[in-house]
């Protein structure tokens, strides 16, 4: 069964990988470079399918990952198709964390929920599914490149406001010209995706960002307002809507036509467990780090092995073994700047 790409823009229509294979997507290290351009040029790693290694389900495919020196690095499992017994969404799991203490190499799985095509047809991906494929593989790389002593700190076992950062950086390669040219072809004619369509896709990234940023920040500030209350203050709140209104007004985000993305009564992220309590801000903070890093990649020439090695050894390999912001400062040479994110979202003018 092929796994290709479908961009739901105007014609030319659906796209697919020329080699008609899931393996061709997986071996890129990011989701679609036909000749392994990204994983080879940026990180120097190689994927080899191991059909002799059984996975937990027939849909899951096992790949051995070889490091830049040719030695074994770990195992990657791709489980891309939806099925009745599988929960929805997309996620990455470290089945075995890397650890020098126990001498274990990482085993990581990427899960998506792509619908299968009819028999004899290639399975095509929407633009959002392609982005998700790149994103989840960013988590896989974080896991595979871990070099820590204790498994508690391996790979993505980092603070909540840091974990999405490396995977968001990996999304930049989706429309990077050299990578795009290796996978974005018409599924019937083999023609490359026209640059006009690429330009429009990139321009659309800034659509409605003022609204989206404001509604998100309003929800973030509401989260912090609730979780900075003392027990006594929380018990004294008898009117939830009045508390919300006062909190948003104090924060300067009481915009009548831009309500918070989530209101208290259904803000499951922050009340269903400890993971995102006072932590909803983490999504945009990860994007601050991501945008700042993508600026660095762009300034330094993009798809270069030296940059991949710097990002891998200076940041991904550290996992949670050191303070995340100290790791970032050592990698970037300074604190992150917010301007790259504002520029990306079209919220500041670009000279």
The model's pLDDT over 259-307, given as tens digits with 9 standing for 90+, comes to 999 999 999 889 888 778 999 999 999 999 999 999 999 999 999 999 9
Q: Report how far Cα 144 is from the mean position of its chain's Cα atoms.
A: 15
Residue 147: is its pLDDT beyond 60? yes
Does pTM surpass 0.75?
A: yes
Least confident interval from 11-15, 103-107, 108-112: 11-15
Which bin fits 333, alpha (ψ -120 to 50), beta or left (φ > 0)? left
Burial readout 14-44 (b: 16 or more C-beta within 10 A, e: otherwise): bbbbeeebbbbbbbbbbbbbbebbbbbbbbb
Stated length of the chain? 351
- As given in the structure block, the two tokens for residue 166 are 């490396």
Cβ distance 130 to 302 under 8 Å? no
The pLDDT of residue 36 is 65
**Quick check: is 215 catalytic?**
no
What proportion of the chain, given as a percentage, has pLDDT over 70? 89
The pLDDT of residue 260 is 94
- As given in the structure block, the two tokens for residue 31 are 């989701």
Most confident of 18-32, 86-100, 119-133: 86-100
Catalytic residue among 49, 64, 136, 191: 136
The pLDDT of residue 227 is 96
SS3 for 109? strand
Rounded to 10 deg, the angle between the 282-299 and 160-170 helix axes is: 40
Q: Please give the Cα distance from 109 to 99 (Å, whole number).
A: 17
Cβ distance 77 to 108 under 8 Å? yes
**What's the whole-number average pLDDT of the chain?**
88
Q: Please give the Cα distance from 25 to 17 (Å, whole number).
A: 8
The band of 4, judged by pLDDT with boundaries at 50, 70 and 90, is very low
Rounded to 10 deg, the angle between the 209-227 and 282-299 helix axes is: 130
Helix (H) or strand (E) holding 110: strand 107-114
What proportion of the chain, given as a percentage, has pLDDT over 90? 77
């Amino acid at each position: 069964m092929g796994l290709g790409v479908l961009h739901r823009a105007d014609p030319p229509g659906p796209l697919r990988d020329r080699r008609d294979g899931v393996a061709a997507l997986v071996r890129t290290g990011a989701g679609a470079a036909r000749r392994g351009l990204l994983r080879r040029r940026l990180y120097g790693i190689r994927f080899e399918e191991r059909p002799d290694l059984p996975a937990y389900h027939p849909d899951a495919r096992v790949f051995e990952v070889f490091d830049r020196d040719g030695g074994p690095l770990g195992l990657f499992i791709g489980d891309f198709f939806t099925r009745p017994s599988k929960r929805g969404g997309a996620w990455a799991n470290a089945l075995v964390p890397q650890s020098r203490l126990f001498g274990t190499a990482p085993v990581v799985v990427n899960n998506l929920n792509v619908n299968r095509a009819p028999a004899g047809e290639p399975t095509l991906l929407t633009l959002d599914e392609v982005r998700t494929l790149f994103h989840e593989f960013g988590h896989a790389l974080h896991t595979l490149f871990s070099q820590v002593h204790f498994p508690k700190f391996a790979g993505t076992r980092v603070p909540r406001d840091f974990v999405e950062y490396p995977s968001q950086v990996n999304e930049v390669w989706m429309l990077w010209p050299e990578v795009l040219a290796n996978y974005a072809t018409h599924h019937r004619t083999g023609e490359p995706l026209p640059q006009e369509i690429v330009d429009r896709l990139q321009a659309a990234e800034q659509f409605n960002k003022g609204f989206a940023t404001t509604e998100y920040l309003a929800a973030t500030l509401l989260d912090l307002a609730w979780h900075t209350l003392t027990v006594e203050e929380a018990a004294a709140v008898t009117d939830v809507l009045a508390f919300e209104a006062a909190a948003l007004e104090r924060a300067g985000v009481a915009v009548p036509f831009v309500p918070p993305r989530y209101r208290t009564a259904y803000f499951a992220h922050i009340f269903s467990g400890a993971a995102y309590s006072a932590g909803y801000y983490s999504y945009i903070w990860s994007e601050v780090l991501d945008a700042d890093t993508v600026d660095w990649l762009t300034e330094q020439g993009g798809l270069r092995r030296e940059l991949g090695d710097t990002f891998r050894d200076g940041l991904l390999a550290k996992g949670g073994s050191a303070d995340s912001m100290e790791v970032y400062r050592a990698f970037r040479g300074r604190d992150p700047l917010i301007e790259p994110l504002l520029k990306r979202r079209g919220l500041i003018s670009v000279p």
